[in-house]
Chains A and B, each alone.
Chain A
Amino acid sequence: AQSVAQPEDQVNVAEGNPLTVKCTYSVSGNPYLFWYVQYPNRGLQFLLKYITGDNLVKGSYGFEAEFNKSQTSFHLKKPSALVSDSALYFCAVRDRTGSARQLTFGSGTQLTVLP
């Protein structure tokens, strides 16, 4: 079975400060990992993904995430937060070697960037 945990329902950060949104995962084999962002009244938009290779993945809008196999984590980061980054963020996983044919999503983390 595959699962994802986002331990923080809410993250608040001041504009200009670095931000981190946490994600840990569980799979039987090796993972495909994703981050999506949802703005109010909109669908989910793809931010970045880890497939293989370099553990640091760069994505849209200055976001990046680091794959850490030993800690089974894929935390989302940005060096300097913007008010416009305020949104709901979802981590998702798929076990590339398992029988699951679809993504499993975390419960989401609401990021608020304070001006």
Chain B
Amino acid sequence: DADVTQTPRNRITKTGKRIMLECSQTKGHDRMYWYRQDPGLGLQLIYYSFDVKDINKGEISDGYSVSRQAQAKFSLSLESAIPNQTALYFCATSDPGTGDTGELFFGEGSRLTVL
């Protein structure tokens, strides 16, 4: 089983619908992240959480919200999806205990299409 699991892997939805992408990890890491990948733009940080009570906005948080239900679970929600939120979304974790370099461990990605 993967250390960082994302569900669903693929989702097609319509404009205005609420969507939740879920991430769970078995690495025991405190820090979790949501990134968005668009062709030619690399990865952009949406939100990050350093523990259950510490949630922070990233570069592109508008239109998104998150919930850290437990150390192992971090969900990303689109309250009212719009077509320009069509992208590949990645969850990642990191462990501050290994020198706190920021090294990330990624899930397999969730491809979201908003029609």
Q: Which single member of B41, B102, B106 contacts A44 (CB below 8 Å)?
A: B106
Interface 9-residue window, one of A11-19, A62-70, A72-80, A104-112: A104-112
Contact A102 B43 (CB under 8 A): no
Interface residues on B, range: 20 to 34
Convert A91-115 into 0s and 1s, putting 1 for each residue whose CB lies closer than 8 angstroms to a CB of B: 0101010000111011110000000
Contact B42 A101 (CB under 8 A): no
With CB as the reference atom, state the residue of chain B lying closest to A90: B42
Contact A49 B106 (CB under 8 A): no
Residues of A within 8 Å of B97, CB to CB, are: none
B interface residues with partner A (beta carbon < 8 Å): 4, 33, 40-43, 45, 48, 50, 56, 58, 90, 92, 99, 101-109
CB<8 Å pairs between A and B, sample of 16:
A32-B102, A34-B103, A36-B106, A41-B109, A42-B108, A43-B108, A44-B104, A46-B105, A49-B103, A90-B43, A92-B104, A94-B102, A101-B102, A102-B48, A102-B102, A106-B42
